[in-house]
Amino acid sequence: MSAPGRLVRAAGLAAASAALLAAAPKAPPKLLVVTVTKGFRHDSIPTAEKVLQGFATSSGAFTVDYARTDEELAAKASLKGLAGYDGVVFASTTGDLPLPDRDGFLEWIAAGHAFVGIHAATDTFPGFPPYLDMIGAQFKHHGPQTHVEVVVRDAESAATRDLPKAFDVFDEIYQFQRYEPARVHLLLSMAKHPETREDGEFPVAWTREHGKGRVFYTALGHREDVLQAGWYKWHLLGGIRWALGLDATS
């Protein structure tokens, strides 16, 4: 075969290989679900794990892996370990988690990865302001579990579009410090304080961007029945899909 012929053939093979690679199904994104706690440990954490596994199994949109112990967290949330994941879920984590590199973890999110925080994720790293800035607020306190009316503030969001405009929830309701409305995109809030019933705007769920990364947080999910409720599953799954870039509407 002549030299020009070999070049044409090589170019053809390269083009065919590129086409096959483009046509090959892309592996779904992988989430690391962290349930390590160093403060209060919620009894509902196993239920949260089951709900997240159910999302992965039923939707096929993503897969999940777990870090339940200090040893698993050290291995899977190291910078080397994080290279195998597209996002992280902090499912009611509390206290100062033994992350191998806290600053590196935040840089990993900022590089374009997903972070999803459920309930007590805002009660995590209380003395580490960069984490609190990333998630958008810090847990301050809560009163007794109570009924509240939750109002949808953005009905177009992937995490709220299947919810009614306002609905009643019985759960443990958080109040926050280090919360700045201008730094978040508010999804759910209350028009009355959960304890005093005074008028105002009290945040419940939001999204924000951390560098190129997407952050979704919902304060709901203390109770097992809330985690298992259909509306909550729509809310949480929508937030996860947005954080992973599977749904563009925040």
Residue 183 lies in a domain: no
Q: For residue range 125-168, what is the model confidence (pLDDT) as tens digits?
A: 999 999 999 999 999 999 999 999 999 999 999 999 999 999 99
CATH code, domain carrying 226: 3.40.50.880
Residue 224 lies in a domain: yes
Show the domain range for 222. 27-137+205-243
Residue 190 lies in a domain: no
Using 50, 70 and 90 to split pLDDT, how confident is the model at 224?
very high
Residue 162 lies in a domain: no
Q: Note the pLDDT of residue 250.
A: 66
Long-range CB contacts (within 8 A, 24+) of 188-195? 188/150, 188/151, 188/152, 188/153, 188/160, 188/218, 188/220, 188/235, 189/150, 189/151, 189/153, 190/148, 190/149, 190/150, 190/151, 191/149, 191/151, 192/148, 192/149, 194/143, 194/146, 194/148, 195/143, 195/146
Using 50, 70 and 90 to split pLDDT, how confident is the model at 25?
low
Using 50, 70 and 90 to split pLDDT, how confident is the model at 7?
very low
Say yes or no to pLDDT of 17 above 70. no
Q: Note the pLDDT of residue 26.
A: 80
User: CA–CA separation, 228 vs 47, rounded Å?
Assistant: 8
Say yes or no to pLDDT of 18 above 80. no
Amino acid at 94: T
Q: For the chain, how many structural domains are there in total? A: 1
Query: Residue 114, class by beta-carbon neighbours within 10 Å (0-12 exposed, 13-18 middle, 19+ buried)?
Result: buried
Amino acid at 5: G
Residue 216 lies in a domain: yes
CA terminus-to-terminus distance, the chain = 57
Cβ neighbour number for residue 121 with a 10 Å cutoff: 24
Pairing of strands 199-210, 213-218: antiparallel
Q: For residue range 168-205, what is the model confidence (pLDDT) as tens digits?
A: 999 999 999 999 999 999 999 999 999 999 999 999 99
pTM over 0.75, yes/no: yes
User: CA–CA separation, 79 vs 85, rounded Å?
Assistant: 10
